[in-house]
Amino acid sequence: MTAATLSQAKDVERPERDRNQVGHFSQSGKTPQMEDTMFETLMKFGGYRVDYLNMERAGSSAAMGLYVLGDLPAHQSYSRMAKRNLFTALLVIREQHEEQNLVAIYLDVNSPDEALRPAYQQMKRDMKAGMFRRLCAPVVYDLVGSTELYSDFWNFYRELEWMDILSTEAGMLSPVRFPNLVQFPLAGAV
């Protein structure tokens, strides 16, 4: 690309990329505030974020929530795992034409063994309130990774009348089946 071509490219207006209204930029003046907040969340161990969208679909049988968890290793400046799982899940949801049914996105940057993750807890409260009954978890292990989480999630799972868990691990929205769920006794709530 020549200097003239590069100069011309800077002058081209691209309204499809200008997602932000005038005056809605962060203090830096370069990045929208929402994206600043998302990146800040990915940079902090213990960071979390809950975003609601398409609320007109909330409570319908097609409504879906997305739960994403990522760890933050000491050598990384942000949680690459959370970012990758979030983007992959959103891409799969879009490819499956489910984006209009996505009513909430829950993101935790924390240890997979921590049961008291804020976005995870909010997700459970929203599901109990009936906001959605389909849950997409890019990595199912994030829901039932440790013994403590396993007990917590299955007690929660049994309280609901019905719930579909979907995974994007296969590159598409795939139902997760738990045929032996009834074989486990109800564990003490965490």
Which residues have CB under 8 Å from 104's CB, separation 6+? 50, 51, 52, 53, 65, 66, 123, 126, 131, 132
Instruction: Please enumerate in sequence order all residues whose Cβ is within 8 A of that of 7, keeping only pairs 6 or more positions apart, or say none.
Output: none
pLDDT given for residue 178 in this prediction: 62
Length of the chain: 190
> What's residue 145's pLDDT?
73
Mean pLDDT of 6-26: 41
Integer-rounded Cα radius of gyration of the chain: 19
**13 falls in which pLDDT band (50, 70, 90)?**
very low
Handedness of CA 127, 130, 131, 136 (dihedral sign): positive
| Distances in whole angstroms, Cα of residue 142 to Cα of each of 45, 89, 121, 129, 153 | 16, 14, 13, 22, 10
Which residue would you say has higher pLDDT here, 45 or 4?
45
Least confident residue range of 11-25, 59-73, 149-163: 11-25
Domains and CATH numbers, the chain: 31-175 (3.40.50)
What's residue 36's pLDDT?
57
> Where is average pLDDT lowest: 22-36, 37-51, 66-80?
22-36
DSSP 48-87: EEEEE--GGGTTSTT-EEEEEEE---TT-SS-HHHHHHHH
The CA distance from 93 to 137, in Å, is: 11
Q: What is the mean pLDDT of the chain?
A: 78
Residue type at 134 in one-letter notation: R
Its pTM stands at 0.75
| The pLDDT value given to residue 9 | 44
32-to-26, 47, 52 alpha-carbon distances in Å:
5, 19, 18
Question: 160-183 pLDDT, tens per residue?
Answer: 878 899 988 888 888 887 644 333
CA distance 90 to 48: 17
DSSP secondary structure of 85-149 = HHHHHHHHHHHTT-GGGEEEEEEEES-TT-TT-HHHHHHHHHHHTTS-SEEE-SSTHHHH-SHHH
More confident residue, 117 or 21: 117
